[in-house]
Amino acid sequence: MQIEGTTAVVTGAASGLGAATATALVNAGARVIGLDLAASIEKASPVEGVTLVPADVTDETQVRAALDRAAADRPLRIAVNCAGIAPAQRTLSSRGPHDLALFRTTIEVNLIGTFNVLRLTAERIADTAPDENGQRGVIVNTASVAAYEGQIGQTAYAASKAGVVGLTLTAARDLARYGIRVVTIAPGIVDTPMLASFGPEVNASLAASVPFPHRLAQPAEYAKLALSIIDHDYLNGETIRMDGAIRMAPQ
């Protein structure tokens, strides 16, 4: 899929993986509409070519309005779902059972929000003319290695990301008739603002647990993989781990 001259939608674009991906897409010649919460956008550093639009990925009306803007003057071909939250709480602890509202919220944002953007973006992409190979667009989702090896306290997060992995192949099959590919990236430990809040000692310990290279992944490496997926027309229906060969321990 050619990136130059197209429009891309990136969720969670105000920071971390989303910001890195939005920047990489602009550098590759795309016009980018970045979705994020208003509070996150207020803290974001502006990037030329990236238009940040306040939108909650779980809200159909807000996402549709953002897509109207995205598809205004260039074909919408690309969507990258990076928005997500990562709360931690044990299924049962001395404080009692896992908070059900927190579990619901995590599923709502990480899984339902991803699917909401996927389905609405697919509708728009399907209306564009196909290229010479019959391809109309690409949707890249973000899961996590926690989908496979969730750690203690990650019940909600792991379940939400496993759901993203689970929908990938089926969505790719559903959208094949429209020439739309669907691929998911499952990152390992990435050096994002959320991870930085844990402090340098925790980060150093996490980096040491990666077989090779012995460091945290960088958001730019996620962006590089996302662009490689977009460029590679035969990648479809797959979840790709980007994790330095790590397999997460229970704790």
User: CA angle, corner 164, sides to 162 and 168, nearest 5?
Assistant: 120
The values of phi and psi at residue 199, to 5°, are 100, 160
Catalytic residue, candidates 148, 157, 222, 234: 157
Q: Which residues contact 85 (CB under 8 A, 6 or more apart)?
A: 105, 106, 109, 110
**Residues 45-61, buried b or exposed e (16+ Cβ, 10 A)?**
eebeebbbbbbbbbeee
3-state helix vs strand vs coil in the chain, percent to 5:
45, 20, 35
The values of phi and psi at residue 192, to 5°, are -110, 165
- Quick one: tokens of 84? 């997500």
User: What is d(CA 207, CA 190) in angstroms, rounded to the nearest whole number?
Assistant: 9
- Report the SS3 class of residue 18: helix
The yes-or-no answer on residue 148 being catalytic is no
Instruction: Give residue 28's Cα distance to chain centre.
Output: 19
Question: Which residues have a catalytic role annotated?
Answer: 157
